[in-house]
Structures are given as structure tokens and as C-alpha cells.
Amino acid sequence: MFHVELLSPISDFLSLITGYFIEIWDFLIFIGAVGGVMIVLAGGILWFTSANVSWGRSLVFSGILLCIVVEYFVLFPPDFIIS
């Protein structure tokens, strides 16, 4: 019985830390999604207004790549999100 009482504070601490990791992960996913959309918009403006076509094109493609990476991590989250 003593062993169960000793593990209870440790498991409570681990669940608290896991909750913080989940909140941080959700915030990073939000920042990545918003950042990807903003990069694509800024690149599209540069590309289609002919202000800087090569830089705008690279911003559009890198924003699309960022959105794909963020979507991958939304579909396949790390283990601390699942458990």
C-alpha cells in the first residue's frame, strides 16, 4: 500500500507536466498555421504585384511547405498528446 501512495504524487506531477506540454504544443501548432498562411499571402502579394517575383515565389512555396508540415503534426501528434 505504501508503494501506491508514493507513486500518486509522481503521477500527478507527470500529468501536470503533460498538460503543460499539450498546451505548448497546441500554441505552436496555432502559430505555425497562422504563420504559414501569412507567409503565403505575403509571397503572393510580392509575386503577383511584380515587386520581387523570385522572393515572392519562394515565400509562397515555403509557406505551403510549412502548412504541410504543420498538418502532418496535426494528423500524427507526439506521444504526449495521444496519451
Quick one: the chain helix, strand, coil %, rounded to 5? 90, 0, 10
- In this structure, is residue 62 part of a structural domain? yes
Q: Per the structure, how many domains does the chain have?
A: 1
- In this structure, is residue 19 part of a structural domain? no
Q: Are 42 and 52 in contact (CB under 8 A)?
A: no
- In this structure, is residue 46 part of a structural domain? yes
CA atoms of 73 and 75, how far apart (whole Å): 5
pTM over 0.85: no
- Name residues whose C-beta falls within 8 Å of residue 73's C-beta, 6 or more positions apart in sequence: 29, 32
Domain span at residue 42?
A: 24-75
Q: Are 35 and 66 in contact (CB under 8 A)?
A: yes
Q: What is the pLDDT of residues 4-46, one digit of tens each?
A: 555 678 888 888 898 899 899 999 999 999 999 999 999 999 9
- In this structure, is residue 65 part of a structural domain? yes
- In this structure, is residue 9 part of a structural domain? no
- In this structure, is residue 29 part of a structural domain? yes
